């Protein structure tokens, strides 16, 4: 009894060591990190890419836009994903490349009679000055505002483009992903939130803003203005494998897949905002 037991103990001690010592296959692994808004799309493309090139591994990791940019600066990641433009200091050391454009849709429950709001009304609702749906032409009842957490790129873009310096009400429910916001709005007839246009489904309704409907066409013609770039952030001298992956993402096939997922292809808005 004692010998197998001891052997087990020794083995158990050695196992993690052995595991730790095995060198990771660095040469064929590309690490992408950053914005959780961009993440699902890049993960999707990464799966396609690995399907085409089985000997290449693409690790896609969340963490947020800032963490992604930081990771490229420190070399922890080959590529950063960001849903906000680079800061001046960051832009001095890194390059940013739009891989697609994403519209932010303001969403309500599909039974909500309100189908259109002005930007001022949206601002009033999210800042809490219009706390009842009747204030903006809806059925009477308290509005449940749903927002994203501090630090989220989507929240940053929304605050910059819509709130313009006003604080979001402290009553607002706070969720840490697009999907979680959608699930709440889909379940609560009194809720309002915002998320990537590509994630809108038929349980929620995307509001028309200032008479402009949130559609890909309206974005392409520049009528719908809540649009932000999804960026790849690159170091000064990316490895060839990394460049090959970036090329794939910007290529026709990948861009078509992104469009299918509700994003606006990078080239469509080139030079845009």
Partner 1 sequence: MSKDRADRLAITALGLSGLLTGALLTLIVGHVLARGLPVIDAAFLLTAPERMGRAGGIFPSVVGTLAVTALAVAIATPLGVMTAVYLAEYTREGFFVRLCRFATAALAGIPSIIFGLFGFVLFVIRLGLGWSVLSGGLTLAIMILPIIIRTAEEAIRAVPRSWREISYALGGTRWQTVTRVVLPGALPGVLTGVMLGVARSVGETAAVILTAGTTLRLPRSPLDPVRTMAVHFFILAREGISMDQAYGTAAVLILLILGVNFVAYWLLGRITARRG
Partner 2 sequence: MRDERPVEMLLGLVALSTTTALVLIAVFIFIEGVPVIARVGPAQFLLGRRWAPDAGSFGIFNMLAGTVWVTVGALCLGVPLGLACAIFLSEVAPRPLARMLKPALELLAAIPSVVYGFMGVVVLVPLVRTTLGGPGFSVLAASAVLAVMILPTITSITYDSLRAVPDSYREGSLALGAGRWQTIAMVLMPAARPGILAGVILGTGRALGETMAVLMVAGNALRAPTSPLDPVRTLTANIALEMGYAQGEHRQALLATGLVLFVVIMAANSVALALSSRRAGEGG
The answer to whether 62 contacts partner 1 (rule: CB under 8 A) is yes
Instruction: Name the residue with tokens 């096939």.
Output: 253
CB of 98 within 8 A of CB of 227? Answer: no
> Is residue 259 near partner 1 by the rule CB under 8 A?
no
Distance CA 93, CA 73 (A): 8
In the complex, least distance from residue 127 CB atom to partner 1, rounded to whole angstroms: 27
What are the backbone angles phi and psi of residue 32, rounded to the nearest 5°? -120, 135
Q: How far is the CB of 113 from partner 2 (least distance, A)?
A: 19
CB 173, min distance to partner 2, A: 4
| Chosen from partner 1, partner 2, none, partner binding at 98 (C-beta under 5 to 8 Å by type) | none
Residue 211 contact partner, candidates partner 2, partner 1, none, CB within 5 to 8 A by sort of partner:
none
Residue from the set 63, 98, 198, 214 that interacts with partner 2 by CB under 8 A:
63
Q: Scanning the structure block, which residue is given the tokens 């799966």?
A: 47
Angle at 179 between CA 187 and CA 86, to 5 degrees: 140
Whole-angstrom distance, CA of residue 56 vs CA of residue 231:
22
Residue 183 engages partner 1 in binding (rule: CB under 8 A): yes
Alpha helix locations (H) across 168-229?
A: 178-187, 216-220
In Å, how far from its chain's centre is CA 210? 25
Query: Which listed residue (50, 161, 166, 184) binds partner 2 by CB under 8 A?
Result: 184
Q: Tell me the helix, strand and coil percentages in the chain, rounded to 5.
A: 45, 25, 30
User: Between residues 68 and 198, which has the closer beta carbon with respect to partner 2?
Assistant: 68
Q: Convert 132-146 to b/e letters by CB count within 10 Å (16 or more is b).
A: ebeebebeeeebbbb
Closest CA to 185 of 195, 193, 176: 193
Using the contact rule CB under 8 A, the part of the chain among 55-63, 150-158, 162-170, 229-237 near partner 1 is 55-63
270 contacts which partner out of partner 1, partner 2, none, CB within 5 to 8 A by kind? none
Binding segment for partner 1 among 20-28, 91-99, 151-159, 210-218 (CB under 8 A)?
20-28
Q: Which regions of 119-226 does DSSP assign to beta strands (E)?
A: 144-148, 173-175, 191-196, 204-206, 208-209
182 scored as a contact of partner 1 (CB under 8 A): yes
Partner that binds at residue 164, options partner 1, partner 2, none, CB closer than 5 to 8 Å by kind: none
CB 248 within 8 A of CB 254: yes
Number of residues counted as binding partner 2 (CB under 8 A):
28
Stretch that binds partner 2, among 49-57, 84-92, 175-183, 204-212 (CB under 8 A): 175-183
Residues 108-147 within binding reach of partner 2 (CB under 8 A): 144
Partners of 175 in the beta sheet? Answer: 148
Stretch that binds partner 2, among 14-22, 87-95, 113-121, 167-175 (CB under 8 A): 167-175
Binding site for partner 1 (CB under 8 A): 1-2, 5-6, 9, 12-13, 15-16, 19-20, 22-25, 29, 40, 43-44, 46-47, 57-62, 76, 177-180, 182-183, 186
Binding site for partner 2 (CB under 8 A): 36, 62-67, 70, 144, 149-152, 156, 167, 170-176, 183-184, 187-188, 190-191
């Amino acid at each position: 009894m004692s010998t197998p037991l001891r052997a087990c103990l020794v083995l158990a001690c050695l196992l993690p060591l052995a595991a730790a010592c095995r060198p990771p296959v660095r040469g064929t692994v590309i690490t992408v990190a950053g914005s959780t808004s961009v993440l699902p799309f890049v993960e999707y493309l990464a799966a396609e890419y690995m399907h085409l090139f089985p000997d290449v591994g693409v690790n896609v990791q969340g963490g947020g836009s800032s963490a992604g940019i930081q990771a490229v600066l420190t070399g922890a990641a080959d590529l950063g994903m960001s849903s906000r433009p680079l800061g001046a200091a960051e832009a001095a050391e890194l390059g940013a490349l739009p891989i697609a454009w994403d519209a932010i849709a303001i969403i309500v429950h599909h039974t909500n009679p309100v189908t259109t709001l002005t930007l001022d009304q949206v601002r009033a609702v999210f800042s809490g000055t219009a706390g009842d749906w009747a204030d903006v032409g809806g059925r009477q009842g308290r509005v449940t505002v749903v927002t994203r957490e501090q630090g989220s790129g989507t929240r940053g873009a929304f605050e910059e483009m819509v709130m313009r310096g006003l604080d979001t009400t402290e009553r607002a429910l706070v969720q840490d992903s697009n999907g979680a916001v959608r699930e709440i709005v889909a379940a609560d007839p009194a809720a309002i939130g915002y998320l990537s246009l590509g994630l809108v489904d038929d349980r929620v309704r995307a509001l028309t803003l200032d008479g402009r409907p949130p559609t890909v066409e309206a974005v392409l013609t520049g009528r719908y203005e809540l649009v932000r770039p999804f960026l790849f952030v690159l170091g000064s001298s990316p490895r060839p494998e990394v460049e090959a992956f970036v090329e794939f993402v910007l290529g026709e096939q990948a861009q078509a897949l992104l469009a299918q997922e509700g994003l606006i292809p990078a080239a469509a808005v080139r030079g845009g905002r």
